Amino acid sequence: MSDLQLRQATNEDLSAILQLEHLCFTEDRLSRRSFRRFLDMPRDRLIVAETKHEGESELLGYCLVLMSAATRMARIYSIAVLPTARGQGIGEKLVKAAEHEAAEAGRILMRLEVREDNSGAIALYKRLGYRQFGTYRDYYEDHGTALRFERRILFYEPTREFLPVPYYPQTTDFSCGPAALIMAMSALDEQQPLNTLEELKIWREATTIFMLAGHGGCGPHGLALSAWNRGFEANAWLSTEGPLFRDTVRSDEKKRVLELVHEGFLQDIGQTSIQLHHNPLTLEAMEQALHNGQIPVILISTWQLNRSRVPHWVTVCAMDDQFVYLHDPEIDVADGETVADKQYLPVDRRVFSQISRYGRIQPLQAAVIVGPKR
């Protein structure tokens, strides 16, 4: 529809919006008072689609987007298209306009709910890249079920300010550290291998033997050594001087093994130029490292991101005044994630300060900064 216009609604549109609401819905209708309240809320957006014919305007659809001050998420609260105007792509244009408005407002994710029997809308959202992440039962007035969908809408625009960082996904459940390190080294040297063999080699070199469960994970000492042994500059930041994760194992034998591995790492580091800093790496220092052509690899807790309590390594690629941009090497294919979801993932700076600590009682902070080859 070539003459379709999308714009922000005004109070003058209320009557037409309310008429559209009654034509599209028999239940769960929004009232004039509700629409007026949303119009008066500076953070929210009410977008209308209209067409003009012989000087007369006709409202064909609307999309109501809510943006809470407490989160970096936006939500399509309601969307409607005139029944006689459906099938012309108006709904898709409204969703894309809503995403644009939310991204301009610094929102990372767009979420929405849709009736489980609304196959047309579900097909549209899936085609636009939305993935289902939950279900609301007894959500509508008629006790119908709503499916919850979300899509990342804010993406980093690479600039010359920071080095471009190639993306590499981990191929095992326990090799996030090697994958994150591989990405950092590849940003500094295009000849650096990006493959599973290199990933597993680094894991064998850097593993701490024991973790909370399953295979051993990699600590900052081992990752720094792996980078240094490949010709890169490397320095590590740790909030503790002893062996990491010692308190997560109960067996005295396992504790002793962790201690011996730690002693071995320290002896090997003593033969290198690697510096160990036993103080937290600040956001300012991390940003300065990026400006200096170095790449930080950071241990985080993903509890706030995906409710997992397992420590996880990520690569920091860029920063601005709002976000820290990460390459997260873990892609949950079963949950519908793709590479696009994990490249230059924007994390609010305040949130990043919270997740870059692992544990509650004595939070562990660990990082490795990788520099150009010596």
If asked whether residues 185 and 140 sit together in one domain, one would say: no
Give the DSSP letter of residue 339: H
Q: Using one digit for the tens of pLDDT, what is the confidence trace for 111-158?
A: 999 999 999 999 999 999 999 988 999 889 899 999 999 999 988 887
In a domain, 163, yes or no: no
Q: Give the C-alpha distances (Å, rounded to integers) separating 125 from 62, 110, 203, 235.
A: 16, 11, 39, 45
Of 136, 152, 168, at which residue does a domain stop? 152
**CATH assignment at residue 31:** 3.40.630.30
What is the pLDDT, as a whole number, of residue 157? 82
**CATH assignment at residue 216:** 3.90.70.10
How many other CB atoms are found less than 10 A from the CB of residue 70? Answer: 5
Q: Which residues contact 97 (CB under 8 A, 6 or more apart)?
A: 6, 47, 63
Of 152, 184, 210, at which residue does a domain stop? 152
Q: Give the C-alpha distances (Å, rounded to integers) separating 13 from 88, 175, 264.
A: 22, 55, 72
What is the pLDDT, as a whole number, of residue 247? 66
> How far apart are the C-alpha atoms of 188 and 297, rounded to whole Å?
13
In a domain, 267, yes or no: yes
What is the pLDDT, as a whole number, of residue 242? 76
Instruction: List for the chain the helix, strand, coil content (%; round to 5).
Output: 35, 25, 40
What is the pLDDT, as a whole number, of residue 246? 66
If asked whether residues 184 and 98 sit together in one domain, one would say: no
In a domain, 157, yes or no: no
> How far apart are the C-alpha atoms of 81 and 59, rounded to whole Å?
9
| Total count of domains within the chain | 2
If asked whether residues 360 and 211 sit together in one domain, one would say: yes
If asked whether residues 85 and 203 sit together in one domain, one would say: no
If asked whether residues 365 and 259 sit together in one domain, one would say: yes
Q: Are 277 and 235 in contact (CB under 8 A)?
A: yes
In a domain, 165, yes or no: no
Six-digit token string for 279: 């103080």
**Environment class of 350 (CB within 10 Å of its CB; exposed 0-12, middle 13-18, buried 19+):** exposed
| Single pTM value for the model | 0.79
Low-confidence ranges of the chain (pLDDT < 70): 1-2, 209-216, 245-249, 303-309, 359-362
**What residue numbers bound the domain in which 143 lies?**
5-152
How many other CB atoms are found less than 10 A from the CB of residue 349? Answer: 15
